[in-house]
């Protein structure tokens, strides 16, 4: 499941989820969880504005859906693909869920916890450290789409 084409395809699905977040005024971040065979077992998009829930980040919602689908909280062998680098909350959630790999399409220099600002997912003090696939290891087109979606959203908000 780690080949670049498969990871790019997963990120494109995450972008589709992120676009849906725009309908509720949420930051357009989307995520999908893939099982070891590459099948989507969880989807999520930011829903903080829609639900008033501060934990309703795309990653958390996708992990919850995947755990329900699997019938257990351990997501060993799974890949989380998300359009934006996970924050500390989401990084902690994916570590605790025992996700094997996280792939993200855009760096978050202000809150990223998978290498940009912090590196919570690879902290050697933790009992689980997933593989991290940053934007420079995915296709340029999909990485640009992930970053562009966010730039467009925030540019539009600044105009208002």
Q: How far apart are CA 160 and CA 155, in angstroms?
A: 9
How would you list the strands of the sheet with 79-84, edge to edge?
40-45, 30-34, 79-84, 101-106, 131-133
Q: Does the active-site annotation cover 72?
A: no
**Backbone phi, psi, residue 80, to 5°:** -105, 120
30 near 17, Cβ under 8 Å? yes
* Among 59, 72, 131, 141, the one annotated catalytic: 59
Structure tokens at 50: 């829609």
Residue among 105, 92, 93, 27 at smallest CA distance from 62 = 93
Q: Are strands 30-34 and 40-45 parallel, antiparallel or unpaired?
A: antiparallel
Which of the residues are catalytic? 59
């Amino acid at each position: 499941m780690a080949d670049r084409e498969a990871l790019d395809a997963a990120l494109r699905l995450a972008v589709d989820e992120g676009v849906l977040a725009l309908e509720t005024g949420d930051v357009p971040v989307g995520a999908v969880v893939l099982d070891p065979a590459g099948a989507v077992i969880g989807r999520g998009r930011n829903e903080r504005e829609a639900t008033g829930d501060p934990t309703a980040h795309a990653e958390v919602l996708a992990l919850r859906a995947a755990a329900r689908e699997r019938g257990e909280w351990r997501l060993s062998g799974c890949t989380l693909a998300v359009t934006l680098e996970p924050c500390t909350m989401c990084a902690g959630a994916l570590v605790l869920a025992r996700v094997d790999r996280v792939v993200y399409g855009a760096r978050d220099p202000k809150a990223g916890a998978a290498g940009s600002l912090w590196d919570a997912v690879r902290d050697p003090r933790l009992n689980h450290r997933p593989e991290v696939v940053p934007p420079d290891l995915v296709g340029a087109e999909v990485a640009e789409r992930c970053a562009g979606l966010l730039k467009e959203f925030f540019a539009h908000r600044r105009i208002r």
